[in-house]
Amino acid sequence: MQMIAISIAIFVLAAGPLPLVDAAKNVDREAVRSLLKQGANVNATEADGTTALHWASYRDDLESADLLIRAGANVNARNDLGATPLWAACQNGSEPMVRRLLSAGANPNASLLLGETPVMVASRSGNPAVVDLLASKGANVNARGARGQTPLMCAVAEKHPEVIKVLLAHGADIHARSDTWKEVMAVSPHGYLDYNRPIPHGNDTALMFAARDGDLASAQLLVAAGANVNDEDAW
Q: Same domain, yes or no, for 129 and 161?
A: yes
Q: Same domain, yes or no, for 126 and 224?
A: yes
Residue 178: predicted pLDDT: 78
Q: Does some domain include residue 152? A: yes
Q: Does some domain include residue 113? A: no
Q: Does some domain include residue 193? A: no
Query: Could you give the CA distance from residue 231 to residue 207 in angstroms, rounded to a whole number?
Result: 9
Total number of residues shown for the chain: 235
**Amino acid in the structure at residue 23:** A
CB 186 within 8 A of CB 138: no
* Number of structural domains the chain divides into: 2
Q: Same domain, yes or no, for 139 and 51?
A: no
List the one residue out of 57, 63, 49, 65 whose CA is nearest residue 13. 49
Q: Does some domain include residue 80? A: yes
Q: Same domain, yes or no, for 102 and 134?
A: no
Of the residues 64, 87, 107, which one is the last residue of a structural domain? 107
Q: Same domain, yes or no, for 205 and 138?
A: yes
Q: Same domain, yes or no, for 125 and 228?
A: yes
Residue 8: predicted pLDDT: 43
Q: Report residues of the chain scoring pLDDT below 50.
A: 1-6, 8, 13-15, 234
Of the residues 107, 135, 155, which one is the last residue of a structural domain? 107
List the one residue out of 117, 62, 63, 128 whose CA is nearest residue 93. 128
Q: Does some domain include residue 8? A: no
Q: How many CB atoms lie within 10 A of CB 202?
A: 18
Residue 148: predicted pLDDT: 86
Q: Same domain, yes or no, for 174 and 217?
A: yes
- Please give the DSSP secondary-structure letter assigned to residue 179: P
Residue 208: predicted pLDDT: 87
Q: What would the pLDDT profile of 132-146 be if each residue is shown by its tens digit?
A: 999 999 999 999 987
CATH code for the domain in which residue 69 is found: 1.25.40.20
Residue 30: CB partners within 8 Å, gap ≥ 6?
none
Q: Same domain, yes or no, for 93 and 160?
A: no
Q: Does some domain include residue 5? A: no
Q: Same domain, yes or no, for 169 and 227?
A: yes
pTM, 2 dp: 0.84
Q: Same domain, yes or no, for 132 and 99?
A: no
Q: Does some domain include residue 34? A: yes
Query: Could you give the CA distance from residue 220 to residue 83 in angstroms, rounded to a whole number?
Result: 34
Q: Same domain, yes or no, for 129 and 227?
A: yes
Q: What H or E segment, with its residue span, contains residue 181?
A: strand 180-184
Query: Could you give the CA distance from residue 56 to residue 24 in angstroms, rounded to a whole number?
Result: 5
Q: Same domain, yes or no, for 133 and 61?
A: no
Of the residues 57, 84, 107, which one is the last residue of a structural domain? 107
The whole-angstrom distance between residue 106's C-alpha and the CA centroid of its chain comes to: 14
List the one residue out of 26, 25, 70 whose CA is nearest residue 51. 25
Q: Does some domain include residue 172? A: yes
Q: How many CB atoms lie within 10 A of CB 52?
A: 33
- Please give the DSSP secondary-structure letter assigned to residue 189: G
For residue 230, give its domain range. Answer: 119-184+200-234
